[in-house]
Chains A and B, each alone.
Chain A
Amino acid sequence: MNFITFILRRLGLAIFVLLGVTLITFTLSHLVSNNPLVAWLGRAASNPQLAALYVQKYHLDSPLYVQFGYYISGLLHGDLGFSVFKGEPVSEALIQTLPFTLQIAFFAILLTLGIGIPLGVLSARYNHTAIDYGITGFYLAGIASPYFLLALFLLVILTYTLHLLPSGGALSPGVPPPIPITNFQLIDSLIEGRWSTFLDGLVHLVMPSLALALGIFGYITRVLRASILDVLHTNYIRTARAKGVDENTLFFKHALRNASIPVVTLASIVVTWLVTGTLFVEAIFAYPGVGQYAVQALSNLDYPSLMAITLAFAVIIVLSNLVADILYAVVDPEIRLQ
């Protein structure tokens, strides 16, 4: 199979999966009650004028499969429904909140790799020593921690004991947010040239992204360690060693490069964890991203928002899986043949 066919097949699968997810969210919003109006409008459903408007807009008097068709076409036009609790279209609320979550995710991924890769290398280099066991204990604790434990733990240590970092929010009180251009606060403050706002925003990102990274870096460490140890036992390493290549060159230049390939396959686990973790981390650190929005939507029984957020998370995961698959096929041509 050549590369183009491979990508097209993956793309087709991604579209199919997303269609499947829309079927789930569509079904769920129709299961809320016999009358989907209640789900979408809440108490406002008793207003006959509004109800009539909704029946007309969402074709609620048509058969289900027709409604599903309109639902999909609405989604494609960016219509994710209306959030009564936010008082604005769901798409608007997502545009406001998603950049905050992406900011956290970006730094969380940097930290995950920044912690996970060196520790994986260390524990493979000092395989079966105290260093290896120490690192294993550290990452096991991270992986086993429920989503909120690390966030609370960091708060107690870094904020309430050492007073190093702010307890939450996206900016310190009194710091005016930058003029929204991209909706990414960090980028916007740079565009405006407000360095102090940029730094303040950055400081507020440290704990949420660290709390996420500490829970997930262990997967990187574990896979990298195992993969390095595998590679070190291959013939080409043995040959290189026999030819007199020194151990450090052998380890860092020959082994590490090839051992990094399987780490790409973790993209799906990492992104899934980050997406789930934002719910808890953003709620704990009062960070105004999608996670906090989801938790608010949950407590206000705002179904349109919940379904749209579920869908948005699925889109993020499917897209990152697609990118990881393609990346993997680029670095490891064998995959394309399967």
Chain B
Amino acid sequence: MSENETRRFLKLLFTSNEAKLGLVIVLVFLATALLVAIAGKSILPYNPIQQNVGPVLAAPSLQHLFGTDNLGRDVFSRIVFATPNALIVSVTVIASAFIVGIFLGCVAGFWSGILDEILMRSTDVIFAVPALILAMSIAVILGPGLINMMYALMIIWWPPYARLARGEALRVSQRNFIEVAKTSGIKTFTILRRHIIPNILSPLLAYATLDIGTVVVVYAGLSYLGLSVQPPTPDWGGMVSSYQDYLVSAPWLPLFPAAIIAAVVIGFSLLGNGLRDAIESRNIS
């Protein structure tokens, strides 16, 4: 995209207020995650792991924005401290799915035939099991922990990307300029790199933005089930499950981390929807 085109695209994207709201949420999330990852615990109001920094089960107040938990830990600091993990998990899983998807999708779409058939049927199989259930089965075999959970997610996350890339590769490779390139003796790899991949990037990117929300939800689900970071390190899903026992006396405890997850998901889906619409209307105009 030239600079002019980029400007027009951004204008298209931000005509919608929803996309703007999405971008704001996503930026806050990214900034928080990066800040905590770089500066560590020192920028938080309280040490997220230290107990008794305040009274036990205190209601939200100015001292403790989201209240304190059963061990007197500051819930706000704990939620903020868990942000980098959510970012790392979602970015790693999406990036690996993206790369694997493009690779497999191009191979299947460009050469078709038996490879294509094998790939499509294996995606059918993986689609038959809900992502969270399959990731859970794999993660439990690998053993609990953030890294193993990420492996489990990476193993199962690529199929929609491969399908999307395959469809686009198939579509693009039937166009005339690819035929011309093929007959004029340009190497297949060069055709893929120069013509096919750039053409399939934008729909995949829009899908990936939407999909980050899904990764965050599934990640939260798995860590709720105890398959991610182990206590006392805070983790959104894990906080919900351990605070659930205080639902009667301190309902804000499990509800705050759960609502934060929802907010991040909403941010990415609003931005993703905006991106998709902008790409579609750019293609039409």
Binding site for B on A (CB under 8 A): 13, 16-18, 20-21, 23-25, 28, 31-32, 140-141, 143-149, 152-153, 155-156, 160, 272-273, 275-276, 279-280, 284, 294-295, 298-299, 301, 303, 306-307, 309-310, 313-314, 317-318, 321
Partner of A152 from B138, B140, B221, B255 at Cβ < 8 Å: B255
Q: A146-B261, A149-B259, A156-B255 are in contact. Are A21 and B247 (CB under 8 A)?
A: no
A94 to B224, CA, bound (A): 24
User: Is B121 an interface position by the 8 A CB rule?
Assistant: yes
> In the complex, which residues of chain A have a beta carbon less than 8 angstroms from the beta carbon of B213?
144
> In the complex, which residues of chain A have a beta carbon less than 8 angstroms from the beta carbon of B220?
146
> In the complex, which residues of chain B have a beta carbon less than 8 angstroms from the beta carbon of A273?
130
**Is the beta-carbon distance between A20 and B244 smaller than 8 angstroms?**
no
**Is the beta-carbon distance between B134 and A310 smaller than 8 angstroms?**
yes
Q: A144-B266, A146-B262 are in contact. Are A18 and B128 (CB under 8 A)?
A: yes
**Is the beta-carbon distance between B124 and A310 smaller than 8 angstroms?**
no
**Is the beta-carbon distance between A16 and B132 smaller than 8 angstroms?**
no
B 134-154 to A, binary, CB cutoff 8 A, 1 in contact else 0 = 101110110000000000000
**Is the beta-carbon distance between B124 and A17 smaller than 8 angstroms?**
yes
User: Is B188 an interface position by the 8 A CB rule?
Assistant: no
Q: A31-B141, A32-B141, A147-B221 are in contact. Are A21 and B129 (CB under 8 A)?
A: yes
**Is the beta-carbon distance between B137 and A152 smaller than 8 angstroms?**
no
A21 to B240, CA, bound (A): 31
> In the complex, which residues of chain B have a beta carbon less than 8 angstroms from the beta carbon of A299?
226
**Is the beta-carbon distance between A20 and B255 smaller than 8 angstroms?**
no
Q: Which residue among B138, B217, B248 has the maximum number of chain A CB atoms within 10 Å of its CB?
A: B217
> In the complex, which residues of chain B have a beta carbon less than 8 angstroms from the beta carbon of A160?
247-248, 251
Residue of B nearest to A161 (CB): B251
> In the complex, which residues of chain A have a beta carbon less than 8 angstroms from the beta carbon of B221?
146-148, 276, 279-280
Nearest-Cβ distance from residue B231 to partner chain A, whole angstroms: 15
User: Is B28 an interface position by the 8 A CB rule?
Assistant: no
Nearest-Cβ distance from residue A261 to partner chain B, whole angstroms: 22
Binding site for A on B (CB under 8 A): 121-122, 124-125, 128-134, 136-138, 140-141, 213, 217, 220-221, 224-227, 237, 240-241, 244, 247-248, 251, 254-255, 258-259, 261-263, 265-266, 269-270
Residue of A nearest to B254 (CB): A152
19 A–B contacts, CB within 8 A, in A order: A17-B124, A28-B141, A146-B237, A146-B265, A147-B224, A148-B258, A149-B240, A149-B255, A155-B247, A160-B248, A279-B132, A284-B244, A294-B136, A299-B226, A309-B133, A310-B137, A314-B129, A317-B129, A317-B130
A144 to B217, CA, bound (A): 8
> In the complex, which residues of chain A have a beta carbon less than 8 angstroms from the beta carbon of B138?
28
Residue of A nearest to B142 (CB): A31
Nearest-Cβ distance from residue B269 to partner chain A, whole angstroms: 6
> In the complex, which residues of chain A have a beta carbon less than 8 angstroms from the beta carbon of B241?
148
> In the complex, which residues of chain A have a beta carbon less than 8 angstroms from the beta carbon of B258?
145-146, 148-149, 152
> In the complex, which residues of chain A have a beta carbon less than 8 angstroms from the beta carbon of B136?
294, 298, 306
A306 to B124, CA, bound (A): 21
Nearest-Cβ distance from residue A29 to partner chain B, whole angstroms: 8
- Return the 4 tightest CB-CB contacts between A and B, nearest first: A20-B125, A144-B265, A149-B258, A144-B266
Residue of B nearest to A25 (CB): B137
> In the complex, which residues of chain B have a beta carbon less than 8 angstroms from the beta carbon of A298?
136, 140, 225-227
> In the complex, which residues of chain A have a beta carbon less than 8 angstroms from the beta carbon of B270?
140
Nearest-Cβ distance from residue B78 to partner chain A, whole angstroms: 17
> In the complex, which residues of chain A have a beta carbon less than 8 angstroms from the beta carbon of B128?
17-18, 20-21, 314, 317-318, 321
> In the complex, which residues of chain A have a beta carbon less than 8 angstroms from the beta carbon of B255?
149, 152-153, 156
Q: A17-B124, A141-B262 are in contact. Are A148 and B269 (CB under 8 A)?
A: no
Residue of A nearest to B213 (CB): A144
> In the complex, which residues of chain A have a beta carbon less than 8 angstroms from the beta carbon of B244?
148, 152, 284
